[in-house]
């Protein structure tokens, strides 16, 4: 029997697993948890909208076939010569591999940033950020040091802005519970570029800035982080920001395992693939999601987004089955559904099918996208079981 292994249960890995499961094709998926979490919603867990459990789906709730095997292990390497994936608990032989381990934070060589900041890399880290902030605010009650109430967010892309929106909605509640005046809280988002949210239409950005500043946030563009020491962000020009909480959201790169295993990679560590998502180095390996260096017909790389990852995973599984059945494979030609950015639970911005939207309309679209994803992943059963805990309508 052909041995098929999927590593990683992110958007791409789960889409591939769901496709193979529906086809009744035996496979093994190896992941470091027994659940799949929704990376695009981790800012909600970090920002206090809901508990971490709201944003996870047990993998076995998606996979229905007895022949679909889940192994919980931390992957540490790939040996292409032996055709095995190496984990902390063992090795997993494969005839075909779908690799979707995703990303890690990119620190761009900024001194001390990795060591002295928090980042949203998984569900545990998101929950950890919320707990850290709560502990800092409780410390302020004891010693009155206002640095506990200052939060510095590095990067004004999608994650940074969405996290800021969540915090500005949650922190007034936290302050009320601890009898802290919210006016004492300082939430800053620091961005080196001259603008925020490059993936959003320019005419919507002033709405974002106005919404966040009215809620008490500070957006600082054209401001470079030069170094981070414990509790201190050092900016260009010599200014320092002393903060009890420092969170970096300014960049990602592929998991380093592909580079370490000798794959052809780009400057962000993504493995080069052909139009069928097969590795340029091994046609028995499909690379999907944020780990894939895939380009459109004009040579432009596809962006590392959840919707791209989901479509990649499904296509990789389809093409793998096509190979097994000696059928023609399909090229990756994704559909772009648009980008949505929440600014808390009630308003947002973005575009849907190319149409710019903002305010309550965008927030409703963001909530609807959660149900859409659950439906695509596990049909009516999964959407019915999990939508309520994730949505706030």
Cβ proximity of 38 and 373 under 8 Å = yes
Q: 162: closest CA among 347, 386, 387, 372? A: 347
Residue linked to tokens 């007895």:
66
Give the Cβ contact number of residue 76 at 10 Å: 12
CA distance 231 to 214: 27
Contacts of 298 (CB under 8 A, 6+ apart): none
DSSP 292-357: EE-B-TTSPBPP--HHHHHHHHHHHHHHHHHHHTT-------------EEESSSS-EEEEETTEEE
Q: Which tokens sit at 143? A: 């010693």
CA distances from 198 to 42, 170, 207, 342 (A): 20, 26, 14, 15
Annotation marks residue 184 as catalytic: no
Active-site position among 136, 162, 310, 367:
162
Residue 226 CA: distances (Å) to CA of 14, 182, 186, 332: 38, 29, 21, 39
Active site residues: 162
């Amino acid at each position: 029997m052909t041995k098929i292994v999927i590593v990683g249960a992110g958007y791409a890995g789960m889409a591939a697993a769901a496709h193979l499961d529906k086809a009744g094709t035996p496979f093994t998926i190896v992941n470091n948890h027994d659940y799949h979490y929704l990376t695009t919603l981790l800012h909600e867990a970090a920002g206090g909208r809901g508990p971490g459990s709201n944003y996870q789906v047990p993998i076995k709730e998606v996979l229905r076939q007895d022949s679909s095997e889940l192994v919980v292990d931390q992957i540490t390497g790939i040996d292409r010569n032996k055709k095995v994936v190496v984990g902390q608990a063992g090795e997993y032989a494969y005839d075909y591999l779908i690799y979707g381990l995703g990303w890690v934070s990119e620190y761009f060589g900024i001194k001390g940033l990795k060591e002295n900041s928090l980042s949203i890399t998984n569900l545990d880290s998101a929950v950890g950020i919320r707990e850290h902030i709560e502990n800092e605010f409780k410390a302020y009650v004891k010693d009155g040091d206002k640095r506990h109430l200052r939060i510095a967010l590095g990067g004004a892309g999608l994650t940074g802005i969405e996290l800021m929106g969540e915090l500005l909605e949650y922190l007034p509640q936290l302050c009320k519970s601890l009898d802290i005046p919210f006016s004492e809280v300082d939430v800053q988002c620091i961005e080196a570029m001259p603008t925020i949210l490059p993936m959003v239409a320019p005419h919507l950005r002033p709405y974002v800035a106005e919404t966040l500043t009215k809620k008490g946030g500070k957006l600082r563009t054209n401001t470079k982080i030069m170094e981070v020491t414990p509790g201190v962000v050092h900016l260009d020009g010599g200014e320092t920001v002393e903060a009890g909480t420092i969170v970096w959201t300014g960049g990602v790169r592929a998991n380093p395992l592909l580079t370490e295993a000798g794959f052809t990679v780009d400057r962000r560590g993504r493995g080069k693939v052909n139009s069928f998502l097969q590795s340029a180095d091994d046609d028995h390996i499909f690379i999907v999601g944020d780990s894939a260096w895939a380009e459109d017909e004009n040579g432009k790389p596809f962006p590392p987004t959840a919707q791209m990852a989901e479509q990649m995973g499904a296509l990789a599984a389809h093409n793998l089955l096509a190979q097994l059945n000696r059928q023609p494979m399909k090229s990756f030609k994704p559909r772009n559904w648009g980008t949505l950015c929440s600014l808390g639970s009630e308003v947002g911005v973005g575009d849907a099918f190319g149409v710019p939207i903002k305010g309550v309309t965008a927030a409703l679209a963001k909530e609807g996208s959660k149900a859409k994803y659950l439906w695509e992943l596990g049909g009516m059963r999964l959407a019915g079981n999990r939508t309520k805990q994730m949505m706030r309508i």
